[in-house]
A and B are shown apart, each in its own frame.
Chain A
């Protein structure tokens, strides 16, 4: 069964450092997402991406965050200058697009970011 893969599974970084989280969505999917879950809290929407541009973003997704699809397979989330409160599990997801009226997202296993 096709799956969304994320790397790294766990990253530890110092406050102020830049972090790039990588995702390989399912190959024929058109919509890509990043969500995050701070320990014990809700799974929060960060950003959606379609047709090589951001289609929607949340208040959390400020200027510290950016997304990119640098080639035909990878979808990355960059945090420019990490803060302690960025420590969370970051989930990538994808869906096939308009043919899927239910907007069913397939999620990766997540990347745990720990900011010290």
Chain B
């Protein structure tokens, strides 16, 4: 079945790198996504990666995909206080309309 798992909390010092990890179960995933949710706001797409890629970089964000292990990670370089939010991993399976989300990882920035 379809399932996306991620740890619930991560604390990182300002200026350090944050690495948020995610695992998924469905090997037929076509696209994998990272969404960000700030307090009181909706789910904002940060980045996505196609399943035939293993890395994607966009400014401070690096996404790594290990398809063999069904493991996805999001690295945020030089973490800032504005990065404090909940980060959701999500997958799209085959040509389904829907996207399946994890529970979200709350990123807390330490001064």
Contacts and interface: CB of A to CB of B under 8 A. Distances in A.
A107 interface: yes
Contact of A102 (B4, B31, B44, B97): B31
Nearest to A48: B97
A4 B42 contact: yes
Contact of A43 (B40, B48, B50, B88): B88
Contacts, number: 56
Determine chain B's interface SS by DSSP, over half rule: strand
Interface string B17-43: 000000000000001010100001111
B17 to A, nearest CB: 26
A91 B42 contact: yes
Interface string B76-111: 000000000000101010001111111110000000
B45 interface: yes
A36 to B, nearest CB: 11
B53 to A, nearest CB: 12
Interface centre among A4, A42, A91 (most CB of B within 10 A): A42
A45 B98 contact: yes
Given A4-B42, A109-B40, A109-B41, A102 B50 contact: yes
Interface centre among A43, A55, A108 (most CB of B within 10 A): A43
Contacts of A106: 45
B97 A107 contact: no
A110 interface: yes
B42 A56 contact: no
A44 B48 CA distance: 19
Contacts of B45: 104-106
B98 A56 contact: yes
A45 B99 contact: yes
A50 B42 contact: no
5 contacts: A42-B104, A43-B104, A102-B50, A103-B99, A104-B48
Interface of B: 4, 31, 33, 35, 40-45, 48, 50, 88, 90, 92, 96-104
